[in-house]
Chains A and B, each alone.
Chain A
């Protein structure tokens, strides 16, 4: 026993060193840039993204008696606690657990929407949305079209946590926006923080098209913003220009947007140039006008996303930009993305399009 104790002490000693190394690895790869501008006037409260999403669903359940919220483990609040307290407040018939079956969740949601209810479905992780792919891509997306406008699944919103968290490995890290952005009839949306999350989620819920609402899970608790307490929406299909400059256009969404905000700051400090930074927010339909106007102004464009390079959503942006802005371009459009491999566990720091990869690409883009 004594020997075991000393051994344990040695381990604790080593542990401290190791934990330090480890925290370095797990520390997030970005700095969070909170939104300071309020989308509407009036009272605000400090909320993190999880609370802002909770608040949007609370408002929906309060004001729309047909609205229901469901998914795996949603009754106790969901594994990320976005639905916390809502079952107590609105009852078990409105906020409930489903059996463990994503295709069931999506199909059930489409059915609710078809029969006039507002459906907010949670898929526990975006990595697990693929069993629901058929229901979303073949059914939700095409219901209006194939029925000549008689039926639709517009009242369905599918919320799902996505993106890197530092230790998620293959199946708790993916960003599947491009798969869905290839599907006419769907809307694909990703917020960058609490304020956009609340406004965009309320838009998705009320929008008359089915929406896939991707929530970068690392942002749930990473930062708080002063979020308006009252009901407000942010337009779908519209991008936001968050920084203005003339040297280049930087485009991202979700967590990656914060990486590019830092890169823009680095470019200002190290290269003495200013860039437009655009949060695309909606991947489908996407805001061609805002993006192309910016690139026409700057003549240079860098797109960054966590998902792999090949057939990532950056490919769609790049193709359209070169078509629309060809004569304005001073350099080839650059993409900085996850590599063309599954999302790896211990290699995450090498996999992500972090600020150094983005900065290096931007420096080359500007020198070109």
Chain B
């Protein structure tokens, strides 16, 4: 495997290649039947006379590509992406902004100000590492724990907080639960709760882009280690490969799907091992290392734009609870959480890297954290003053044109509200 570029992509198109590329220690003794290769349409593989079952130990574990060590020191200087200072600072500030937003919005849910929230702790490096390696025109399909990508692309805290409040300035018009962001302007498709549904959709979108003359855009699709168990995930990988789609399938493997640890989610070598099996270029990276993620996505984008779909498995740890509805101490040891919080913080790693480069110091840090926090607090104060959208928004956008039957229902509700207005919280909503 060519490790020189640092990011090594594995592709398993033919068993011959796979054997050479992947199975370094249990290569089956190939006893060629007169050197013949089978003609089966389903597998042009060599014949052997020794029967051998393969299992998850037939292959070396797929290694985890990293650029920095725990202290933010670049391990092999050839792998330093040498990102320009402005971009690096934007990456770092986005991470700080994200973690401050998480802290305050999580707390605000506890206080009853918003109905739900999900934090991104521990996965900030995946967000900014990938977003910084893409064009803002590349289309994003997200799961729900990727708000750093939105921030990096310039979606404002105001827009995000308004969504969480479901007020009249929420771009989603108050219809979805908090954290279901979306932005046409920033090329990020609105999040939907049913898991993995975005995966084959991302592949279809990539196919559409491919057919645009002189296409220079790809699609990135984020999904969790849990979502990867859905049937849609398999469909997505298989469609991406067979239809040669310009798509990057980005798995955030954070060790848990709510309470279910990866040990009960899959056997075999994680999500990455499925890539070569289905014919996708594949790499596994340290998701707590924003630079490693950046390098992987940059290279993946080049491949994708040549219509070679890529699977990236970014390893991380879900430091926070699954959501505000969850208490993860019910199923995992506190020490485990602490270890990952302290020792493998993606924010800390990038900060140490920046400090080494002389781009950052304690003062800058203090200032940045304060600004980030103030922005969220100020935005929340503003968001709280805004009313929810007019109740009629409830029945808009179901169809492009409202069908007469729905119009009739709206009229019924309008009449009902005239008569029974005191029983409805109308003052919290915009009115005619």
Contacts and interface: CB of A to CB of B under 8 A. Distances in A.
Interface of A: 4, 7-8, 10-11, 14-15, 18-19, 21-26, 72-73, 75-76, 79, 96-97, 99-104, 127-128, 130-131, 166-172, 309-310, 339-342, 344-347, 349-351, 354, 356-357, 360
A100 B192 contact: no
Nearest to B108: A15
Given A25-B428, A97-B264, A344 B231 contact: no
Given A131-B230, A339-B394, 20 more contacts: A14-B381, A15-B113, A18-B384, A23-B112, A25-B425, A26-B112, A97-B259, A100-B226, A100-B257, A104-B231, A127-B194, A131-B232, A167-B115, A171-B192, A339-B395, A339-B406, A341-B398, A347-B393, A350-B394, A357-B416
Interface stretch (B11-19, B174-182, B311-319): B174-182
A345 B374 CA distance: 28
Interface of B: 111-113, 115-116, 166, 174-177, 180, 192-195, 226-227, 229-232, 257-260, 264-266, 325-326, 330-331, 370, 373-374, 377-378, 380-381, 384, 388-389, 391, 393-395, 398, 405-406, 409, 413, 416-417, 419-420, 423-425, 428
Contacts of A170: 175-177, 192-193
A15 B384 CA distance: 9
Contacts of B177: 167-172, 345
Nearest to B231: A103
Contacts of A8: 377
A171 B420 CA distance: 29
Given A73-B259, A169-B176, A310-B405, A347 B425 contact: no
Contacts of A103: 231
A73 B195 CA distance: 15
Nearest to B391: A350
B232 to A, nearest CB: 7
26 contacts: A4-B370, A4-B377, A11-B377, A14-B384, A21-B428, A26-B112, A72-B258, A73-B260, A75-B260, A79-B325, A99-B260, A99-B266, A100-B257, A101-B230, A127-B194, A131-B231, A167-B115, A170-B175, A172-B193, A339-B406, A344-B174, A347-B388, A347-B394, A350-B391, A350-B424, A356-B423
A100 B229 contact: yes
A168 to B, nearest CB: 7
Given A18-B113, A73-B258, A101-B230, A340 B398 contact: yes
Nearest to A339: B409
Given A7-B377, A73-B258, A99-B265, A344 B232 contact: no
Contacts of A75: 259-260, 264
A212 to B, nearest CB: 18
B420 A360 contact: yes
Given A25-B425, A360-B419, A104 B389 contact: no
Given A24-B425, A360-B419, A344 B175 contact: yes
Contact of A169 (B112, B175, B231): B175
Contact of A309 (B116, B265, B409, B424): B409
Contacts of A309: 409
B199 to A, nearest CB: 12
A72 B394 contact: no
A130 B196 CA distance: 13
A356 B413 CA distance: 11
A123 to B, nearest CB: 12
Contact of A100 (B175, B230, B330): B230
A340 B406 contact: yes
Contact of B405 (A19, A340, A354, A356): A340
A97 B424 CA distance: 42
Contacts of A360: 416, 419-420
Nearest to B388: A346
Nearest to B165: A346
Nearest to B197: A131
A127 B395 contact: no
Q: Which of A8, A19, A79, A341 has the most CB atoms of chain B within a 10 A radius of its CB?
A: A341
A130 B197 CA distance: 11
B394 to A, nearest CB: 4
Contacts of A4: 370, 373-374, 377
Given A339-B409, A346-B166, A100 B227 contact: yes
A101 B113 CA distance: 33
Contact of A104 (B194, B229, B406, B409): B229
A360 B412 CA distance: 11
Contacts of B116: 167
Contacts of A340: 395, 398, 405-406, 409
A139 B36 CA distance: 44
Contacts of A172: 177, 193
Contact of A99 (B232, B258, B264): B264
A309 B166 CA distance: 25
A93 to B, nearest CB: 13
B111 A72 contact: no
Contacts of A72: 257-258, 260
A367 B395 CA distance: 29
B204 to A, nearest CB: 18
A99 B420 contact: no
A345 B229 contact: no
A19 B389 CA distance: 19
5 A-B pairs with the lowest CB-CB distances in the bound complex, closest first: A167-B115, A171-B193, A346-B174, A347-B394, A99-B229
Given A7-B377, A170-B176, A171-B192, A101 B229 contact: yes
Contacts of A339: 394-395, 406, 409, 413
A363 B413 CA distance: 16
Contact of B391 (A101, A127, A347): A347
